[in-house]
Structure 1
Amino acid sequence: MKIAFVGKGGSGKTTLSSLFIRHLAAAGRPVVAVDADINQHLGPALGLDEEQAAALPAMGAELPLIKEYLRGGNQRIGSADEMIKTTPPGHGSRLLSVTGDNPVYDRCAHRVDLDEGSVRLMATGAFTEDDLGVACYHSKVGAVELYLNHLVDGPGEYVVVDMTAGSDSFASGLFTRFDLTFLVAEPTRKGISVYRQYKEYARDYGIALRVVGNKVQGPDDLAYLRREAGEDLLTAFGHSDWVRRLEQGAEPRFAELEEGNRRVLQQLHRAVDAAHGSRDWERYTRQMVHFHLRNAESWGNARTGVDLAAQVDPGFVLGEQRLPAGSSAAR
């Protein structure tokens, strides 16, 4: 299952995504956590100190390796240099699973041991001084899009992505790569405006979107969210002394999280598992091809000097049957 956490800056999406990751790990589920926000805070939210977080390998810096590995023996792709962030897999491409080992995880993933379980953590990499004025952050996020386009995950396996804030998520096709998107909204006009904008942009792409209220301090806040988000509101996270202690540098055990907020995480888990039943691999493949052709025409063909539309394999549909026998999602 692929899950995105989105919302306006400061809404608490990184905090909630890290809590959900902890919840899944505590339940014994295999988890890949991905920090795809321009502000890289998921590592510290999972308990890394500043030095450990700064030492995380950057996916954006490993694009040549990622492309070369994923290309595999795909005859439609002449070289890794001809791959762009939207290049879809085809016959001969190497696919990834959540639990398997491969050079992408070897180079890009860091094992984070939590007090209950562990997760693989990957990060796009921070926007550096060298990038200022000459690069777009979404060129780094392209590594995440390639990863998800070649990932075959099954039920009971989870990839949780902390997305960049606000509507910036729509600068690429990455927003279509998820089984369920949780929009974290504060009970304010700004919080709701981001929800409305996100829903409007996502409307034509069949995005499964649920609102998770945050910083809800009482029944009036909850009523406001219900009035503004309607049936899209799934649940709401209340005040948490546990989160406050974590943000102050303490290391509280996850088992000490307030019972009411643990129930919220259980609601998210049930919603994610329910979404698996509506997964459509054909639509998923169709959407990646759609955005690849748009990017090819807009800039990709000119940049690479080849017709990138030729990379599309018309007989290929991503799915669990594509993984080699013995891979986790194929079992």
Structure 2
Amino acid sequence: MKIAFVGKGGSGKTTLAALVARHLVAAGRPLLAVDADINQHLAVALGAPAEQATGLPPLGEGLPRIKEYLRGGNPRIASAAAMVKTTPPGAGSRLLRVAEENPVWAAHVREVGGVRLAVTGAFTEQDLGVACYHSKVGAVELILNHLVDLPGEYVVVDMTAGADSFASGLFTRFDRTFLVCEPTLRSVGVYRQYAAYARDYDVTLSVIGNKVEDDSDLAFLREHVGADLLACLSRSSYVRRAERGTVGPLAELEPANRAVLDRLVDEVDATVQDWAAFTRHAHEFHRRNAAAWANERAGEDLTTQIDPDFLMGPAAIRPTVPAADRSVAPTPA
């Protein structure tokens, strides 16, 4: 299952993404975590010291090699340079698995706090004033387009704050989206905006209340969120310690808050993966991007990259490409 954590900046989405990732790994579940937020804090939330967090190899820096690997032998894609963030897989494309050895993971995935983590990378001095963060997140979108997660496998993505993910089709790449919401009008406002945008794309959305102190906070969330409210986390001394740099064992998390993690995982496991919708949305957003900017940039009609007979999902998995054919060299940490 592909799981997104979204919400207002400061709502606690990164903290909750880290808790759920650690909870799943502790249960022995195959998992990949991805930090796709402009504020790259997931590694620290998982317990990484600052020097490790800043030394992780960004996905964005390896994008040309990632494209070349994913292109594989797809005859509809003339070159890796012709691939854009929305390019969908087709016959001959290389697909990714959550738990496997491949050159993309070898170059960009590192273990942090027991969790396999990939990061988009933060803004650099060269990016300031000239680059959009969505150009970095494009690597995540391309990877998710080509990633087949089987039952019992999980991908946890800490997304950009607010409704920024709607600047691309990335919001349709998830089986379950958890919106973390504080009992405040600003946080509820982000929920309303997100829910309104997501409604037309059948996004499976649940709200997790956070920093709930008393019955009035709970009543406020129920009034403004309604049936989308799945569970609530109370104020947590464990989380406060973690935010100050002491990430203790999950056994130290308050029992009521640990029960919320179980509830979230149960909700994810009960979600039905709709690979037909996944494929349909991938094609739709590729057509949109081709018409809006990508055709002009590439100098060709990129909608011809769409393979109408290809359905993304477990049935599309092909035998692993021999190591000698793999073309992504590790990126220096």
2:327 alignment partner in structure 1: none
The residue aligned with 1:160 is: 156
Are residue 133 (structure 1) and residue 126 (structure 2) matched? no
1:323, distance to aligned residue in structure 2 (A): 1.2
What are the residue-to-residue correspondences of 1:237-316 with 2, within 5 Å?
A: 237-275=233-271, 278-316=272-310
Conservation of the 8 A alpha-carbon contact between 2:59 and 2:120: yes
Q: Is 2:174 the partner of 1:178?
A: yes
C-alpha contact 1:88 1:149 (8 A) present in aligned 2: yes
SS in 2 for 1:74: coil
Write the letter of the residue equivalent to 2:182.
E
In structure 1, distance between residues paired with 2:88 and 2:286: 7
1:214 — aligned with what? Answer: 210
When structure 1 is superposed on structure 2, of 205-214 and 253-262 the one drifting more is 253-262
Q: Which residue of 2 aligns with 1:191?
A: 187
Residue identity matched to 1:219 = D
Alpha-carbon displacement from aligned partner over 1:174-216 (angstroms, at most 9, x marks no partner):
0000000000000000010000000001110000000000010
Within a 5 Å distance, the mapping from 1:39-54 to structure 2 comes to 39-54=39-54
Give 1:287's aligned amino acid: H
Distance 1:252 1:120 in 2: 18
RMSD: 1.1
CA distance in 1, matches of 2:303, 2:317: 24
Shift of 1:279: 1.7
Query: Which residue of the partner structure matches residue 202 of structure 1?
Result: 198
Give the distance between the partners of 2:250 and 2:7, measured in 1 at CA: 24
Residues 91-147 of structure 1, C-alpha deviations (whole Å, 9 max, x = no match): 0000000001111101111112x3xxx321000000111111211100000000000
Aligned to 1:16: 16
Superposed CA offset, 1:226-264 (max 9, x none)? 111111000001011111111122231111111000000
Letter in 2 for 1:209: L
- The CA distance in 1 between the partners of 2:14 and 2:238, in whole Å, is 15
Instruction: Give SS of 2:118's match.
Output: strand
Unaligned runs of 5+ in 1: none
The corresponding residue for 2:330 is none
User: Identity across aligned pairs (percent)?
Assistant: 63
Contact kept? 1:33, 1:119, Cα under 8 Å: yes
Kindly indicate whether the alpha-carbon contact (under 8 Å) linking 1:186 and 1:216 is maintained by their aligned counterparts in 2.
yes
Q: Which amino acid aligns with 1:299?
A: W
Q: Distance in 1 between matches of 2:34 and 2:209?
A: 22
Give the partner amino acid of 2:278: Y
Describe the SS at the equivalent of 1:78: coil
- List, as ranges, runs of 4+ consecutive aligned residues in structure 1 with deviation greater than 4 Å: none
SS at match of 1:129: coil
The residue that corresponds to 1:87 in the other structure is: 87
Q: Secondary structure at the match of 1:166?
A: coil
Letter in 2 for 1:49: P
Q: 1:322 aligns with which of 298, 316, 331?
A: 316
CA distance in 2 between partners of 1:212 and 1:197 (Å): 16
Mapping for residues 65-104 of structure 1, pairs under 5 Å: 65-104=65-104
- Counterpart among 231, 237, 241 of residue 235 in structure 1: 231
**Contact kept? 1:30, 1:119, Cα under 8 Å:** no
Shift of 1:325: 5.4
Q: Given that residues 7 and 165 in structure 1 are in contact (C-alpha distance below 8 angstroms), is that contact kept between their aligned partners in structure 2? A: yes
Structure 2 distance, partners of 1:314, 1:65, is 26
Letter in 2 for 1:284: F
* Cα separation, 2, equivalents of 1:33 and 1:5: 11
Distance in structure 2 (CA, Å) of the matches to 1:163 and 1:152:
19
What secondary structure does 1:237 align onto?
A: strand
- Using the alignment, how far apart are the partners of 1:272 and 1:98 within structure 2? 16
Q: Specify the alignment match of 2:38 in structure 1.
A: 38
Distance 2:12 2:199 in 1: 24
